[in-house]
Amino acid sequence: MNSIINRKKARITLLLVGIFYFMLFSVFAQNKETIAVISIDSKNMEYDNEAMASMIRLELEKIDVYEVMDKYDVKDMMESYQISPETFGKNAVVGAGKLLGANKMLTGSVERFGEKIIMILRLVDVETSRIEKTSVMEFLNVQEEIQSMCMIALNELLGLENDKHLVDLLINYNLPIATKNTLANLSGPRMGMIFTGGDAGKRLQDSEQNGGYDMFPVSSMFGYQFEKQYLTSGDFQALVEVIPAINGLESGAFIPSLSILNGFRFNNSGFEFGVGPIARISKVKEGYFQDGNWILAERQAPPEGVETIKRIDNRGTHELSMGLVLAFGKTFHSGYLNVPVNVYAIPKKEGTTVGITFGFNTTKKPKI
């Protein structure tokens, strides 16, 4: 008997709770403010004013914050009161809102500038005749996603959370400003000194009679740097540097080289570093070292257990040799004059080369 009474009480309780929530929902639904959208000013877009207004109205209904006035009712009332569909100004929108009996009005514009779309939405309170909120957003020019842009802009206007991933895909983030302070081009002549150690250095300093070049331990370097920036972000630059050069002129030698570096530069501090391949053409011959002396294999067979190697020799044939350049430098400025100073190393088994170079160029004064 008690179980039957308890079941009846439970049913009555559920019924009362359901009635309570229904009444509460009805009260809130009745208390929703009405909002009307007359038109959205569309310029340089694939969609006209009416189409943009329809998309905004659709997304407003999805959000379900306001009771959105039906577009056909709005259109009929606009014709009755002779309200122009080109009504965009605040005072005109407030006047139209009073005639339509709306609590809020939504107006705005969507315009394409180059490769970006600027969407401005304004929420106008009809009673106070004030612009309650404004949303200004810049999107990428992806017009097939215009409905998603409307949703993002409306959520921004009404203080609702957006999908961060979707925002990142569509928002047009401003790129850093590029000026002479953020775009430095240091193309120009280069000169310096280099030192080659190890077996390669010995061969360069050896006498010409023994296949060397009779060069000084430190030799000269003359070249020219061509560069091209491929990435700029504020103070940072990434660039490709091409440096053809000639070494050893003071000793009567002619040793050409070509370096191609991937460089990274910080313009405000002037520091930069780079890395890349270097190619040289030099005469080489096969031989071996014995008691510090270079002996050609073709003249004297190497002792047992001694392997022959190829080293620089002015009696040999021209061959291409490759290496890796590691460079670090700083650019000093004096007005429009730039003086880049760099130190570099070319590590190789037969002998590491280290050097220092400097150059100059001028930055042209911007035309006003």
218-262: pLDDT as tens digits: 999 999 999 998 887 767 889 999 999 998 888 888 889 999 999
Average the pLDDT over 3-31 and give the result: 58
Residue 183: pLDDT over 80: no
Contact 106, 94 (CB under 8 A): no
Residue 11 confidence (pLDDT): 65
Confidence class of residue 275 from pLDDT cuts 50, 70 and 90?
A: very high
Task: Please name the residue that has the structure tokens 């091209």.
Answer: 228
Spatial neighbors of 20 by CB under 8 A, at least 6 apart, are: none
228-240: pLDDT as tens digits: 988 877 678 899 9
Residue 177 confidence (pLDDT): 52
103-145: pLDDT as tens digits: 999 999 999 998 899 999 999 999 999 999 999 999 999 999 9
Average the pLDDT over 159-171 and give the result: 89
Q: Cα–Cα distance between 218 and 193 in angstroms, integer?
A: 6
- In b/e form, how buried is each residue of 16-41, taking b as 16+ CB within 10 angstroms? eeeeeeeeeeeeeeeeeebbbbbbbb
Q: Sketch out the chain's domains with CATH numbers.
A: 31-170 (3.40.50.10610), 188-362 (2.40.160)
The pTM for the full model equals 0.53
Residue 362: pLDDT over 90: no
Residue 26: pLDDT over 60: no
